[in-house]
Structure 1
Amino acid sequence: MEPITRSLLQLWWLVHPPVRRDDRGDVPGWVMVTVMTAGVVALLTGILRPELSGMLRNALNSVK
């Protein structure tokens, strides 16, 4: 390789360093968040179903 070519390549790599791709995503983390959210929603729905039904019924009756 010629010295000028090598110098230009070194300069180019200095100005444009390779980009590291460490941010590909955390699939197990997203799965855990999704499963835990679904569990919380299921738990709250099971516990608060009568209250939520009453609130919805009152809201719909007030619109009529």
Structure 2
Amino acid sequence: MNYVVGDVVQMKKPHPCGTNEWEVLRVGVDFKLRCLNCNHLIMLPREKFEKSVKKLLRHNETK
């Protein structure tokens, strides 16, 4: 799956704030994500990110 900046993904495990929806802010070897509920920022290695994603909720079409 190819992810782009602006995509919204659903993770398998919820964040402590209660949501499991994250916006992709950076794509590469590491992924930078922002929680859509509390705006918390995290960075994950690509391998861990791809294992943790449950599904793609919204795809960013702009280039």
Report the TM-score when normalising by structure 2: 0.18
User: If you compute each CA radius of gyration, which structure gives the higher value, 1 or 2?
Assistant: 1
Report the TM-score when normalising by structure 1: 0.18
Give the helix-richer structure, 1 or 2.
Answer: 1
